[in-house]
Structure 1
Protein backbone atom coordinates (compact mmCIF):
# COMPACT_ATOMS: atom_id res chain seq x y z
CA UNK A 1 0.00 0.00 0.00
CA UNK A 2 1.31 3.44 -0.91
CA UNK A 3 0.94 6.19 1.67
CA UNK A 4 -0.05 9.82 1.23
CA UNK A 5 -1.27 10.84 4.70
CA UNK A 6 1.41 9.10 6.77
CA UNK A 7 5.10 8.39 6.63
CA UNK A 8 6.11 4.81 7.43
CA UNK A 9 9.67 3.71 8.08
CA UNK A 10 11.24 0.57 9.49
CA UNK A 11 14.84 0.64 10.60
CA UNK A 12 16.95 -1.16 13.23
CA UNK A 13 13.95 -2.94 14.74
CA UNK A 14 11.90 0.27 15.09
CA UNK A 15 8.80 1.05 13.02
CA UNK A 16 7.94 4.75 12.83
CA UNK A 17 4.47 5.92 11.85
CA UNK A 18 4.20 9.67 11.31
CA UNK A 19 0.86 11.37 10.74
CA UNK A 20 1.83 13.61 7.82
CA UNK A 21 -0.82 16.33 7.59
CA UNK A 22 0.92 19.26 9.31
CA UNK A 23 -1.21 21.83 7.46
CA UNK A 24 -4.19 20.66 9.58
CA UNK A 25 -2.17 19.88 12.71
CA UNK A 26 -2.04 16.21 11.73
CA UNK A 27 -5.79 15.78 12.03
CA UNK A 28 -6.92 12.53 10.44
CA UNK A 29 -9.43 11.92 7.69
CA UNK A 30 -10.68 8.58 6.38
CA UNK A 31 -7.60 8.05 4.21
CA UNK A 32 -5.31 8.73 7.16
CA UNK A 33 -7.05 6.11 9.26
CA UNK A 34 -6.83 3.47 6.54
CA UNK A 35 -3.11 4.08 6.04
CA UNK A 36 -2.49 4.10 9.79
CA UNK A 37 -4.26 0.75 10.24
CA UNK A 38 -2.31 -0.80 7.36
CA UNK A 39 1.04 0.41 8.72
CA UNK A 40 0.28 -0.72 12.26
CA UNK A 41 -0.74 -4.19 11.06
CA UNK A 42 2.41 -4.43 8.96
CA UNK A 43 4.56 -3.54 11.97
CA UNK A 44 2.71 -6.11 14.07
CA UNK A 45 3.31 -8.89 11.52
CA UNK A 46 6.96 -8.02 10.79
CA UNK A 47 9.17 -10.14 13.03
CA UNK A 48 12.08 -7.72 12.56
CA UNK A 49 10.11 -4.96 14.29
CA UNK A 50 10.30 -4.87 18.08
CA UNK A 51 8.77 -1.49 18.89
CA UNK A 52 6.56 1.07 17.15
CA UNK A 53 6.86 4.86 17.46
CA UNK A 54 3.83 7.02 16.64
CA UNK A 55 4.21 10.75 16.09
CA UNK A 56 3.11 13.73 14.01
CA UNK A 57 4.92 15.66 11.31
CA UNK A 58 6.38 19.06 12.11
CA UNK A 59 6.90 20.71 15.47
CA UNK A 60 3.42 22.01 16.27
CA UNK A 61 1.20 18.95 16.57
CA UNK A 62 1.18 15.26 17.40
CA UNK A 63 -2.45 14.90 16.31
CA UNK A 64 -5.62 16.96 16.77
CA UNK A 65 -8.15 14.21 16.07
CA UNK A 66 -10.70 14.06 13.27
CA UNK A 67 -10.37 16.67 10.55
CA UNK A 68 -13.43 18.87 11.07
CA UNK A 69 -13.05 20.31 7.57
CA UNK A 70 -13.97 16.88 6.21
CA UNK A 71 -16.79 16.32 8.73
CA UNK A 72 -20.30 17.30 7.71
CA UNK A 73 -22.55 14.59 9.05
CA UNK A 74 -19.87 12.02 8.25
CA UNK A 75 -16.22 11.94 7.22
CA UNK A 76 -16.71 10.27 3.86
CA UNK A 77 -15.07 6.96 4.71
CA UNK A 78 -16.22 3.64 6.09
CA UNK A 79 -16.96 2.88 9.72
CA UNK A 80 -19.92 3.76 11.90
CA UNK A 81 -19.16 7.51 11.90
CA UNK A 82 -17.47 7.64 8.49
CA UNK A 83 -14.06 7.00 10.02
CA UNK A 84 -12.73 3.60 11.13
CA UNK A 85 -11.65 5.18 14.42
CA UNK A 86 -12.39 2.04 16.41
CA UNK A 87 -10.11 0.01 14.16
CA UNK A 88 -7.43 2.69 14.31
CA UNK A 89 -7.39 2.64 18.10
CA UNK A 90 -7.66 -1.15 18.24
CA UNK A 91 -4.71 -1.49 15.87
CA UNK A 92 -2.54 0.14 18.54
CA UNK A 93 -3.97 -2.04 21.27
CA UNK A 94 -3.80 -5.26 19.26
CA UNK A 95 -0.25 -4.77 17.99
CA UNK A 96 1.91 -7.22 19.92
CA UNK A 97 4.79 -4.76 19.98
CA UNK A 98 5.00 -1.88 22.49
CA UNK A 99 3.79 1.36 20.90
CA UNK A 100 5.36 4.62 22.04
CA UNK A 101 3.67 7.98 21.45
CA UNK A 102 6.27 10.63 20.60
CA UNK A 103 4.23 13.66 21.61
CA UNK A 104 5.84 16.58 19.83
CA UNK A 105 3.07 19.18 20.11
CA UNK A 106 -0.70 19.44 20.39
CA UNK A 107 -2.32 16.11 21.31
CA UNK A 108 -5.95 17.05 21.58
CA UNK A 109 -9.25 15.36 20.82
CA UNK A 110 -8.62 12.12 18.97
CA UNK A 111 -4.90 12.81 19.30
CA UNK A 112 -5.22 12.67 23.06
CA UNK A 113 -7.04 9.35 22.67
CA UNK A 114 -4.14 8.00 20.61
CA UNK A 115 -1.78 8.92 23.45
CA UNK A 116 -4.16 7.17 25.83
CA UNK A 117 -4.17 3.87 23.90
CA UNK A 118 -0.40 3.81 23.30
CA UNK A 119 1.61 1.69 25.71
CA UNK A 120 4.02 4.49 26.56
CA UNK A 121 4.24 8.21 25.88
CA UNK A 122 7.20 10.58 25.84
CA UNK A 123 6.41 14.26 25.41
CA UNK A 124 8.22 17.44 24.54
CA UNK A 125 8.05 20.24 27.11
CA UNK A 126 6.17 22.25 24.49
CA UNK A 127 3.41 19.64 24.09
CA UNK A 128 -0.12 20.18 25.36
CA UNK A 129 -2.87 17.61 25.75
CA UNK A 130 -6.60 17.58 26.33
CA UNK A 131 -10.06 16.99 24.93
CA UNK A 132 -12.25 19.16 22.73
CA UNK A 133 -15.19 16.85 21.89
CA UNK A 134 -18.01 18.55 23.81
CA UNK A 135 -16.80 21.91 22.45
CA UNK A 136 -17.31 20.81 18.84
CA UNK A 137 -20.27 18.44 19.18
CA UNK A 138 -18.40 15.17 19.55
CA UNK A 139 -17.08 12.67 22.10
CA UNK A 140 -15.03 9.47 22.23
CA UNK A 141 -17.27 6.94 24.00
CA UNK A 142 -14.73 4.14 24.29
CA UNK A 143 -11.01 4.12 24.99
CA UNK A 144 -10.93 7.90 25.18
CA UNK A 145 -13.22 7.98 28.19
CA UNK A 146 -13.24 4.67 30.04
CA UNK A 147 -9.56 3.82 29.52
CA UNK A 148 -8.56 7.39 30.28
CA UNK A 149 -10.30 7.07 33.66
CA UNK A 150 -8.20 4.01 34.46
CA UNK A 151 -5.03 5.91 33.62
CA UNK A 152 -5.60 9.30 35.28
CA UNK A 153 -8.43 8.46 37.70
CA UNK A 154 -12.18 8.91 37.44
CA UNK A 155 -12.41 12.50 38.71
CA UNK A 156 -9.56 13.76 36.53
CA UNK A 157 -10.91 12.02 33.43
CA UNK A 158 -14.30 13.64 33.94
CA UNK A 159 -12.61 17.01 34.38
CA UNK A 160 -10.71 16.52 31.12
CA UNK A 161 -13.91 15.75 29.20
CA UNK A 162 -16.38 18.06 30.90
CA UNK A 163 -14.21 21.21 30.89
CA UNK A 164 -12.13 20.62 27.72
CA UNK A 165 -9.08 22.36 29.13
CA UNK A 166 -5.52 22.11 27.82
CA UNK A 167 -2.88 20.52 30.02
CA UNK A 168 0.85 21.05 29.78
CA UNK A 169 3.17 18.12 29.22
CA UNK A 170 4.29 18.44 32.84
CA UNK A 171 0.69 18.25 34.07
CA UNK A 172 0.10 15.22 31.83
CA UNK A 173 3.12 13.53 33.36
CA UNK A 174 1.88 14.24 36.88
CA UNK A 175 -1.50 12.64 36.11
CA UNK A 176 0.11 9.60 34.48
CA UNK A 177 -0.95 10.29 30.91
CA UNK A 178 2.66 10.48 29.70
CA UNK A 179 5.70 8.68 31.08
CA UNK A 180 8.35 11.34 30.65
CA UNK A 181 8.77 14.95 29.56
CA UNK A 182 11.97 16.25 27.99
CA UNK A 183 13.10 19.43 26.19
CA UNK A 184 12.09 19.45 22.53
CA UNK A 185 15.66 19.09 21.34
CA UNK A 186 16.04 15.91 23.42
CA UNK A 187 12.79 14.23 22.36
CA UNK A 188 14.22 12.06 19.59
CA UNK A 189 17.18 10.96 21.68
CA UNK A 190 14.91 10.01 24.58
CA UNK A 191 12.53 8.05 22.36
CA UNK A 192 15.51 6.28 20.78
CA UNK A 193 16.83 5.36 24.22
CA UNK A 194 13.51 3.83 25.28
CA UNK A 195 13.27 1.94 22.00
CA UNK A 196 16.76 0.49 22.42
CA UNK A 197 15.96 -0.67 25.95
CA UNK A 198 12.78 -2.37 24.71
CA UNK A 199 14.64 -4.05 21.84
CA UNK A 200 16.96 -5.71 24.38
CA UNK A 201 14.01 -7.52 25.95
CA UNK A 202 12.31 -10.80 24.95
CA UNK A 203 9.70 -9.96 22.28
CA UNK A 204 7.52 -12.90 23.30
CA UNK A 205 7.58 -11.89 26.95
CA UNK A 206 6.66 -8.32 25.97
CA UNK A 207 3.81 -9.55 23.79
CA UNK A 208 2.44 -11.67 26.62
CA UNK A 209 2.75 -8.76 29.03
CA UNK A 210 0.89 -6.46 26.64
CA UNK A 211 -1.88 -9.01 26.13
CA UNK A 212 -2.17 -9.39 29.90
CA UNK A 213 -2.39 -5.64 30.48
CA UNK A 214 -4.98 -5.32 27.71
CA UNK A 215 -7.13 -8.19 28.93
CA UNK A 216 -7.93 -6.34 32.15
CA UNK A 217 -9.48 -3.44 30.24
CA UNK A 218 -10.63 -5.08 27.01
CA UNK A 219 -14.29 -4.87 28.01
CA UNK A 220 -13.99 -1.20 27.06
CA UNK A 221 -13.92 -2.34 23.42
CA UNK A 222 -17.57 -3.37 23.71
CA UNK A 223 -18.47 -0.10 25.40
CA UNK A 224 -16.83 1.73 22.52
CA UNK A 225 -18.70 -0.30 19.89
CA UNK A 226 -22.01 0.60 21.49
CA UNK A 227 -20.97 4.20 22.04
CA UNK A 228 -19.95 4.79 18.43
CA UNK A 229 -23.33 3.51 17.25
CA UNK A 230 -24.94 6.19 19.41
CA UNK A 231 -22.40 8.75 18.21
CA UNK A 232 -23.36 8.10 14.58
CA UNK A 233 -26.94 9.06 15.44
CA UNK A 234 -25.79 12.08 17.45
CA UNK A 235 -23.77 13.39 14.49
CA UNK A 236 -27.04 13.67 12.54
CA UNK A 237 -28.57 16.09 15.06
CA UNK A 238 -28.64 19.88 14.86
CA UNK A 239 -26.88 19.99 18.21
CA UNK A 240 -23.81 18.19 16.90
CA UNK A 241 -23.86 20.10 13.62
CA UNK A 242 -23.83 23.35 15.59
CA UNK A 243 -20.42 22.38 16.92
CA UNK A 244 -19.05 21.63 13.45
CA UNK A 245 -20.52 24.81 11.94
CA UNK A 246 -19.22 26.98 14.77
CA UNK A 247 -15.75 25.49 14.36
CA UNK A 248 -15.73 26.21 10.63
CA UNK A 249 -17.13 29.71 11.14
CA UNK A 250 -14.69 30.40 13.99
CA UNK A 251 -17.38 31.39 16.46
CA UNK A 252 -18.60 30.20 19.83
CA UNK A 253 -21.23 27.45 19.50
CA UNK A 254 -24.70 27.72 21.00
CA UNK A 255 -25.56 24.11 21.76
CA UNK A 256 -28.43 24.90 24.11
CA UNK A 257 -30.72 26.18 21.41
CA UNK A 258 -30.52 22.80 19.67
CA UNK A 259 -30.54 20.51 22.71
CA UNK A 260 -33.26 17.86 22.64
CA UNK A 261 -34.31 18.65 19.09
Structure 2
Protein backbone atom coordinates (compact mmCIF):
# COMPACT_ATOMS: atom_id res chain seq x y z
CA UNK A 1 0.00 0.00 0.00
CA UNK A 2 1.33 3.43 -0.96
CA UNK A 3 0.29 6.58 0.88
CA UNK A 4 1.93 9.56 -0.81
CA UNK A 5 5.63 9.31 -0.05
CA UNK A 6 5.27 6.35 2.31
CA UNK A 7 5.04 2.69 1.25
CA UNK A 8 3.69 -0.01 3.58
CA UNK A 9 4.14 -3.66 2.64
CA UNK A 10 3.36 -6.82 4.55
CA UNK A 11 6.33 -9.21 4.35
CA UNK A 12 5.65 -12.38 6.30
CA UNK A 13 5.31 -11.51 9.98
CA UNK A 14 6.33 -7.85 9.58
CA UNK A 15 4.98 -4.69 8.02
CA UNK A 16 7.80 -2.82 6.29
CA UNK A 17 7.25 0.94 6.11
CA UNK A 18 9.49 2.75 3.62
CA UNK A 19 9.98 6.51 3.68
CA UNK A 20 10.06 7.28 -0.03
CA UNK A 21 11.21 10.81 -0.85
CA UNK A 22 14.72 10.20 -2.25
CA UNK A 23 15.00 13.66 -3.82
CA UNK A 24 15.22 15.12 -0.30
CA UNK A 25 16.92 12.12 1.32
CA UNK A 26 13.61 10.88 2.76
CA UNK A 27 13.14 13.99 4.89
CA UNK A 28 9.51 14.24 5.94
CA UNK A 29 7.04 17.07 5.70
CA UNK A 30 3.77 17.04 7.69
CA UNK A 31 1.89 15.07 5.00
CA UNK A 32 4.59 12.42 4.81
CA UNK A 33 4.78 12.17 8.60
CA UNK A 34 0.99 11.77 8.76
CA UNK A 35 1.14 8.97 6.18
CA UNK A 36 3.85 7.24 8.22
CA UNK A 37 1.71 7.51 11.36
CA UNK A 38 -1.25 6.00 9.49
CA UNK A 39 0.94 3.13 8.28
CA UNK A 40 2.28 2.44 11.77
CA UNK A 41 -1.19 2.52 13.31
CA UNK A 42 -2.45 0.18 10.59
CA UNK A 43 0.24 -2.42 11.22
CA UNK A 44 -0.97 -3.80 14.55
CA UNK A 45 -1.90 -7.16 13.02
CA UNK A 46 1.77 -7.79 12.22
CA UNK A 47 4.23 -9.30 14.68
CA UNK A 48 6.67 -6.44 14.12
CA UNK A 49 7.00 -3.15 12.22
CA UNK A 50 10.12 -2.20 10.28
CA UNK A 51 10.90 1.39 9.25
CA UNK A 52 13.47 2.03 6.53
CA UNK A 53 14.22 4.55 3.79
CA UNK A 54 14.21 4.49 0.01
CA UNK A 55 17.72 3.90 -1.38
CA UNK A 56 20.11 6.76 -0.68
CA UNK A 57 19.25 7.56 2.94
CA UNK A 58 17.31 6.39 5.96
CA UNK A 59 15.78 9.75 6.89
CA UNK A 60 17.17 13.29 6.89
CA UNK A 61 14.60 14.45 9.47
CA UNK A 62 12.12 17.25 8.91
CA UNK A 63 12.20 18.88 5.48
CA UNK A 64 14.16 22.15 5.53
CA UNK A 65 12.95 23.40 2.15
CA UNK A 66 10.98 26.32 3.62
CA UNK A 67 13.10 27.20 6.65
CA UNK A 68 14.85 30.10 4.93
CA UNK A 69 11.46 31.86 4.62
CA UNK A 70 9.50 30.19 7.40
CA UNK A 71 5.80 30.51 8.06
CA UNK A 72 4.93 30.15 11.75
CA UNK A 73 1.85 27.99 11.18
CA UNK A 74 3.71 25.71 8.76
CA UNK A 75 6.67 25.34 11.10
CA UNK A 76 4.39 24.62 14.04
CA UNK A 77 2.80 21.83 12.01
CA UNK A 78 6.20 20.42 10.96
CA UNK A 79 7.45 20.35 14.55
CA UNK A 80 4.25 18.76 15.82
CA UNK A 81 4.27 16.21 13.02
CA UNK A 82 7.67 15.01 14.22
CA UNK A 83 6.32 14.37 17.69
CA UNK A 84 3.22 12.63 16.33
CA UNK A 85 5.45 10.31 14.29
CA UNK A 86 7.72 9.45 17.20
CA UNK A 87 4.75 8.96 19.53
CA UNK A 88 3.18 6.58 17.01
CA UNK A 89 6.36 4.48 17.09
CA UNK A 90 6.30 4.38 20.89
CA UNK A 91 2.57 3.70 21.15
CA UNK A 92 2.54 0.98 18.50
CA UNK A 93 1.71 -2.31 20.28
CA UNK A 94 4.30 -4.15 18.19
CA UNK A 95 8.09 -3.86 18.37
CA UNK A 96 9.29 -1.26 15.86
CA UNK A 97 12.67 -1.88 14.23
CA UNK A 98 14.71 0.78 12.44
CA UNK A 99 16.44 -0.77 9.41
CA UNK A 100 18.97 2.01 8.91
CA UNK A 101 20.12 1.83 5.31
CA UNK A 102 21.81 5.22 4.99
CA UNK A 103 22.09 8.58 6.69
CA UNK A 104 19.94 9.09 9.80
CA UNK A 105 20.26 12.83 10.40
CA UNK A 106 18.41 15.28 12.63
CA UNK A 107 14.86 14.05 13.07
CA UNK A 108 15.93 10.87 11.28
CA UNK A 109 18.36 10.18 14.09
CA UNK A 110 15.58 10.91 16.59
CA UNK A 111 13.42 8.40 14.71
CA UNK A 112 16.09 5.77 15.44
CA UNK A 113 16.00 6.86 19.09
CA UNK A 114 12.22 6.36 19.16
CA UNK A 115 12.36 2.85 17.64
CA UNK A 116 12.55 -0.16 19.96
CA UNK A 117 15.40 -1.85 18.10
CA UNK A 118 17.78 -0.76 15.34
CA UNK A 119 19.88 -2.65 12.82
CA UNK A 120 22.28 -0.59 10.71
CA UNK A 121 23.96 -1.19 7.38
CA UNK A 122 27.69 -0.61 7.60
CA UNK A 123 27.43 2.44 5.34
CA UNK A 124 24.82 4.12 7.56
CA UNK A 125 25.65 7.32 9.41
CA UNK A 126 24.03 9.00 12.39
CA UNK A 127 23.93 12.44 13.96
CA UNK A 128 21.98 15.50 14.98
CA UNK A 129 21.93 18.70 12.94
CA UNK A 130 19.79 21.16 14.92
CA UNK A 131 22.20 23.88 16.12
CA UNK A 132 23.93 23.76 12.73
CA UNK A 133 20.77 24.47 10.72
CA UNK A 134 18.91 26.79 13.09
CA UNK A 135 16.95 24.32 15.20
CA UNK A 136 17.28 22.06 18.24
CA UNK A 137 16.64 18.31 18.68
CA UNK A 138 14.06 18.53 21.46
CA UNK A 139 12.02 15.40 20.64
CA UNK A 140 14.46 12.73 21.73
CA UNK A 141 18.09 13.78 21.38
CA UNK A 142 18.13 16.27 24.25
CA UNK A 143 16.43 13.94 26.71
CA UNK A 144 15.69 10.27 25.91
CA UNK A 145 19.02 9.81 24.10
CA UNK A 146 20.78 10.42 27.43
CA UNK A 147 19.07 7.35 28.85
CA UNK A 148 20.17 5.29 25.85
CA UNK A 149 23.82 6.28 25.48
CA UNK A 150 24.63 8.36 28.58
CA UNK A 151 24.20 12.08 29.19
CA UNK A 152 27.67 13.27 28.17
CA UNK A 153 27.63 11.33 24.89
CA UNK A 154 24.08 12.49 24.19
CA UNK A 155 25.07 16.11 24.75
CA UNK A 156 28.06 15.62 22.48
CA UNK A 157 25.77 14.36 19.74
CA UNK A 158 23.12 17.06 20.24
CA UNK A 159 25.43 20.05 20.75
CA UNK A 160 28.30 19.38 18.35
CA UNK A 161 26.34 18.01 15.38
CA UNK A 162 29.03 15.47 14.52
CA UNK A 163 28.46 12.57 12.16
CA UNK A 164 28.95 9.04 13.52
CA UNK A 165 29.59 5.85 11.60
CA UNK A 166 27.47 2.75 12.10
CA UNK A 167 30.25 1.13 14.11
CA UNK A 168 30.46 4.21 16.35
CA UNK A 169 26.67 4.15 16.80
CA UNK A 170 26.93 0.50 17.86
CA UNK A 171 29.67 1.32 20.36
CA UNK A 172 27.56 4.17 21.76
CA UNK A 173 24.52 1.91 22.14
CA UNK A 174 22.33 3.73 19.62
CA UNK A 175 21.88 0.59 17.48
CA UNK A 176 21.75 -3.11 18.32
CA UNK A 177 23.71 -4.52 15.39
CA UNK A 178 25.73 -3.49 12.33
CA UNK A 179 25.83 -5.70 9.23
CA UNK A 180 27.20 -5.42 5.69
CA UNK A 181 24.83 -3.43 3.50
CA UNK A 182 23.70 -6.46 1.51
CA UNK A 183 22.83 -8.32 4.72
CA UNK A 184 20.57 -5.64 6.22
CA UNK A 185 17.25 -7.10 5.08
CA UNK A 186 18.15 -10.72 6.03
CA UNK A 187 19.37 -9.52 9.44
CA UNK A 188 16.11 -7.65 10.07
CA UNK A 189 14.10 -10.63 8.81
CA UNK A 190 15.94 -12.85 11.32
CA UNK A 191 15.12 -10.42 14.11
CA UNK A 192 11.46 -10.40 13.07
CA UNK A 193 11.44 -14.21 13.11
CA UNK A 194 12.84 -14.15 16.64
CA UNK A 195 10.09 -11.77 17.76
CA UNK A 196 7.40 -13.79 15.94
CA UNK A 197 8.21 -16.82 18.10
CA UNK A 198 7.33 -14.87 21.25
CA UNK A 199 3.99 -13.92 22.81
CA UNK A 200 2.64 -10.75 21.16
CA UNK A 201 0.59 -10.06 24.28
CA UNK A 202 3.60 -10.05 26.58
CA UNK A 203 5.82 -8.29 24.07
CA UNK A 204 3.26 -5.48 24.09
CA UNK A 205 3.28 -5.35 27.88
CA UNK A 206 7.07 -5.31 27.88
CA UNK A 207 7.22 -2.55 25.28
CA UNK A 208 4.62 -0.27 26.85
CA UNK A 209 6.20 -0.75 30.27
CA UNK A 210 9.58 0.28 28.81
CA UNK A 211 8.15 3.65 27.76
CA UNK A 212 8.65 5.06 31.27
CA UNK A 213 11.56 7.30 30.23
CA UNK A 214 9.83 8.40 27.04
CA UNK A 215 6.70 9.30 29.00
CA UNK A 216 8.76 11.09 31.65
CA UNK A 217 10.35 13.24 28.94
CA UNK A 218 7.00 14.12 27.34
CA UNK A 219 6.77 17.54 29.04
CA UNK A 220 10.28 18.29 27.82
CA UNK A 221 9.18 17.55 24.25
CA UNK A 222 6.23 19.92 24.50
CA UNK A 223 8.23 22.69 26.15
CA UNK A 224 10.99 22.34 23.59
CA UNK A 225 8.56 22.51 20.68
CA UNK A 226 7.02 25.64 22.20
CA UNK A 227 10.44 27.29 22.34
CA UNK A 228 11.20 26.28 18.75
CA UNK A 229 7.92 27.81 17.60
CA UNK A 230 8.75 31.06 19.37
CA UNK A 231 12.12 31.11 17.60
CA UNK A 232 10.61 30.76 14.11
CA UNK A 233 11.97 33.43 11.74
CA UNK A 234 14.80 34.28 14.14
CA UNK A 235 18.12 35.37 12.56
CA UNK A 236 19.69 32.11 13.69
CA UNK A 237 16.99 30.01 12.00
CA UNK A 238 17.21 32.01 8.77
CA UNK A 239 21.01 31.82 8.62
CA UNK A 240 21.20 28.14 9.55
CA UNK A 241 18.58 27.08 7.02
CA UNK A 242 19.92 29.31 4.24
CA UNK A 243 23.48 28.08 4.78
CA UNK A 244 22.26 24.48 4.69
CA UNK A 245 20.36 24.99 1.45
CA UNK A 246 23.32 26.86 -0.08
CA UNK A 247 25.74 24.14 1.15
CA UNK A 248 27.97 26.59 3.01
CA UNK A 249 29.12 27.09 6.57
CA UNK A 250 26.66 29.22 8.60
CA UNK A 251 27.69 32.58 10.05
CA UNK A 252 25.42 32.88 13.08
CA UNK A 253 24.94 36.19 14.93
CA UNK A 254 27.08 36.53 18.09
CA UNK A 255 25.47 35.67 21.45
CA UNK A 256 23.52 38.42 23.18
Q: 2:66 aligns to what?
A: 70
User: Structure 1: how far apart are the matches of 2:202 and 2:149?
Assistant: 26
Question: Offset at 1:75?
Answer: 8.3
Is the 8 Å Cα contact of residues 143 and 221 (structure 1) preserved in structure 2? no
In structure 2, the residue matched to 1:41 is 41
Structure 2 residue corresponding to 1:51, chosen from 35, 48, 51: 48
User: d(CA) in 1 for partners of 2:71 and 2:38?
Assistant: 22
- Per the alignment, in what secondary structure is the counterpart of residue 42 of structure 2? helix
Give SS of 1:143's match: coil
What is the rounded CA distance, in whole Å, between the counterparts of 1:2 and 1:169 in structure 2?
Answer: 29
Q: Tell whether 2:100 aligns with 1:103.
A: yes
After TM superposition, the structure 1 = structure 2 runs for residues 122-141 of structure 1, keeping only pairs within 5 Å, are 122-141=119-138
SS of alignment partner, residue 97 of structure 2: strand
Secondary structure of 2:94's counterpart equals coil
Change beyond 3 A, Cα 1:115–1:166: same
Deviations 1:123-169 (A, max 9, x none): 00111101111100011213222011110100000111111111110
Taking only aligned residues, the RMSD between alpha carbons, in angstroms, comes to 1.8
Change over 3 Å in CA distance of 1:164–1:216 after alignment to 2: closer
Q: If the length of structure 1 is used for normalisation, what is the TM-score?
A: 0.92
d(CA) in 2 for partners of 1:203, 1:69: 40
Q: Secondary structure at the match of 2:222?
A: helix
Partner of 1:189: 186
- The answer to whether the Cα contact below 8 Å between 2:80 and 2:225 also exists between their aligned partners in 1 is no
Q: Indicate if the aligned counterparts of 1:6 and 1:32 stay in contact, CA closer than 8 A.
A: yes
**Residues 209 and 74 of structure 1: is their aligned pair in 2 closer, same or farther, counting only changes over 3 Å?**
farther
The structural deviation recorded for 1:70 is 3.4
Task: Tell me how many residue pairs correspond in the alignment.
Answer: 255
The CA distance in 1 between the partners of 2:108 and 2:247, in whole Å, is: 21
Whether the 8 Å CA contact 1:134–1:164 is kept in 2: the answer is yes
Counterpart CA distance in 2 for 1:75 and 1:249 is: 22
* CA shift in 2, pair 1:78/1:248, >3 Å: closer
Task: Note the C-alpha offset of 1:97.
Answer: 0.3
Counterparts in 2 of 1:1-261, with a 5 A limit?
Answer: 3-44=3-44, 47=45, 49-58=46-55, 60-71=56-67, 72-74=69-71, 77=74, 79-81=76-78, 83-257=80-254, 259-260=255-256
Structure 1 spans left out of the alignment, 5+ residues: none
Give the TM-score, by structure 2 length.
Answer: 0.94
Alpha-carbon deviation of 1:14?
Answer: 0.7
> Which runs of 5 or more residues in structure 2 are unaligned?
none
Q: Distance in 1 between matches of 2:197 and 2:213?
A: 26
For each residue in 1:168-220, what CA deviation from the matched residue of structure 2 results, as whole angstroms up to 9, or x when unmatched? 10010011000000000111100000001101100010000001100243111
Instruction: Return closer, same or farther for 1:81/1:27 CA change in 2, 3 Å cut-off.
Output: closer
